[in-house]
Amino acid sequence: MFDTGNTGFMLLATSLVMLMTPGLAFFYGGLVGRKNVLAIMMQSFVSMGFTTVLWYVVGYSMCFSGTLGAHTDLGGILGNFDLMFLHGVKVSTPSTLTPSIPLMVFIAYQMMFAIITPALITGAFTNRVRFPAYLLFLTCWLLFVYFPFVHMVWGGGLLASWGVQDFAGGIVVHAIAGFAALASVFYVGKRRVADAQAHSIPLVALGTGLLWFGWYGFNAGSQFKVDGVTALAFLNTDVAASFAGMTWLLLEWRISKKPKFLGLLTGSVAGLATITPAAGYVTTTSAVIIGISAGIICYFAVQLKNKRGWDDALDVWGVHGVGGCLGILLLGVFADNAVNASGVNGLLLGNTSFFLLQAGVMVGASLYAFLFTYGMLKVINMITPVKVGKEDEERGVDESLHGEVAYI
């Protein structure tokens, strides 16, 4: 009944995407100070556990039950609730979007995306948010930001009906997470005790390696089967990350007069984020241009953040927010249905309307994520204080919030 090759590949891709969240924990953990390592890592691992629970109870149903075309969802914004608690899902049930694999595999794969997306945001407000507030943040953000955008783009909802393209999460993952991170920065304000520097660049390197490795499942797996587009997305992922990392390294070397390892690592992640929406829709030559563009534009976005004094501690906005938006726009420019028949042509091939659609949705999605996140934090603060107290921040949130320390 099922294609064993496709099913096996998707199980592997699911495992790779799962590995990205511990990779993110290491990446972020190395970037913060020694007194705050465990708290930032714990936020990623908590997302692995808690988001899985929420996904099982209601998340998958909100994302993938019903469609706008069949008038079975909620206005094209959210799915219905027919599949709460995975009601009716059996071993033999095929995926409605990809019938060659079991629905259970599709559910697990999409769950890994739901796990890592809110975890990305945590790098922006490291050292400053209390754990109870984070749990409320995680719940509300998934319910009112992530789940609706998954349904609208990938679940047969409103944006899909408009013709919006997003191969693996430029809109659904990076843009909305990046601008939610920026809103979080504006709400919680600057750290009272700023980390002088990344306490462990080797830990950052380990995290980058795990993220890069997992990203092959993130992008290539989004084809949901093994074919030429799968290979294209795989290759484009590596090419864009490599060109972005080298571009960032050379640019920073020219400006600061020294080649920085941390710059190489950060640039690679920027390239990975930027190619994500376009990975299976553009040629490899376009992926090279996308990678170089990511290395330049995300670098200067981080410099802008520094100049403006925004305390986005781990550059979530500059890397993921700007990178995701850039990828959405460049997909609008470089999309080529000669490489993927399910895609469309972009601006360079005469399709101006597709470029304008991508640009408009990019702005709308980012603005909604920013405004909702800022308002949501204000509401959460009425329930439980969001910000860590001055004494706790000075002591280090590992010990003050969790009673543990990473290093003795």
Q: Tell if the pTM clears 0.75, that is, is over it.
A: yes
Taking 70 as the threshold, does the pLDDT of residue 196 lie above it? no
| Pairwise CA distance, residues 333 & 282, whole Å | 10
Taking 90 as the threshold, does the pLDDT of residue 327 lie above it? yes
Comparison of pLDDT for 196 and 14, the residue scoring more: 14
Comparison of pLDDT for 196 and 330, the residue scoring more: 330
Percent helix, strand, coil in the chain, to 5, is 70, 0, 25
Q: Where are the alpha helices (DSSP H) in 34-126?
A: 37-54, 60-64, 103-121
Tokens of 52: 């899985």
CB atoms within 10 A of CB 222: 24
- Exposure letters 329-363 (e unless 16+ CB within 10 A, then b): bbbbbbbbeebbeebbebbeeebeebbebbbebbe
Domain coverage including residue 82: 4-402
| Pairwise CA distance, residues 79 & 110, whole Å | 15
Taking 90 as the threshold, does the pLDDT of residue 83 lie above it? yes
- Mean of pLDDT values over 327-340: 98
DSSP letter at 81 equals S
Cα separation values, 152 from 77, 109, 294, Å: 6, 18, 26
Cα separation values, 287 from 164, 236, 243, 244, Å: 19, 6, 9, 10
Tell whether 363 is covered by a domain. Answer: yes
Taking 70 as the threshold, does the pLDDT of residue 61 lie above it? yes
- Give the pLDDT confidence score for residue 1 in this predicted structure: 83
Tell whether 408 is covered by a domain. Answer: no
How far is Cα of residue 18 from the mean position of the Cα atoms in its chain? 13
Place of tokens 């890397």: 319
Each residue's pLDDT tens digit, 342-398: 999 999 999 999 999 999 999 999 999 999 999 999 999 999 999 999 999 999 999
Tell whether 296 is covered by a domain. Answer: yes
| Pairwise CA distance, residues 110 & 132, whole Å | 26
Distant-in-sequence, close-in-space partners of 361: CB < 8 Å, separation ≥ 6: 159, 162, 164, 171, 328
Asked if 284 and 232 touch (Cβ cutoff 8 Å), the reply is yes
Tell whether 178 is covered by a domain. Answer: yes
| Pairwise CA distance, residues 179 & 190, whole Å | 17
Tokens of 190: 């600057």
Where are any strands of DSSP class E within 201-296?
A: none
Which residue, 183, 180, 161, is CA-closest to 172?
A: 180
Give me the DSSP letters along 319-367: IIIHHHHHHHHHHHHH--TTT-TTS---GGGT-HHHHHHHHHHHHHHHH
Tell whether 108 is covered by a domain. Answer: yes
Average confidence score pLDDT of the chain: 97
| Pairwise CA distance, residues 22 & 210, whole Å | 8
Comparison of pLDDT for 60 and 191, the residue scoring more: 60
- Letter for the amino acid at 284? T
The interaxial angle of helices 352-383 and 131-141, nearest 10 deg, is: 140
Q: Is 325 exposed, middle or buried (0-12, 13-18, 19+ CB in 10 A)?
A: buried
Tell whether 407 is covered by a domain. Answer: no
CATH number at residue 140: 1.10.3430.10
- Give the pLDDT confidence score for residue 367 in this predicted structure: 98
Comparison of pLDDT for 280 and 96, the residue scoring more: 280
Tell whether 361 is covered by a domain. Answer: yes
- Give the pLDDT confidence score for residue 319 in this predicted structure: 98
% the chain with pLDDT above 90: 96
% the chain with pLDDT above 70: 100
- Mean of pLDDT values over 222-242: 98
- Give the pLDDT confidence score for residue 131 in this predicted structure: 97
| Pairwise CA distance, residues 389 & 255, whole Å | 38
Q: Is 79 exposed, middle or buried (0-12, 13-18, 19+ CB in 10 A)?
A: buried
| Pairwise CA distance, residues 363 & 371, whole Å | 12
Tell whether 88 is covered by a domain. Answer: yes
Total domains, the chain: 1
Q: Where are the alpha helices (DSSP H) in 60-102?
A: 60-64
Among left, alpha and beta (phi > 0; psi -120 to 50; other), residue 88 is left
DSSP letter at 143 equals I
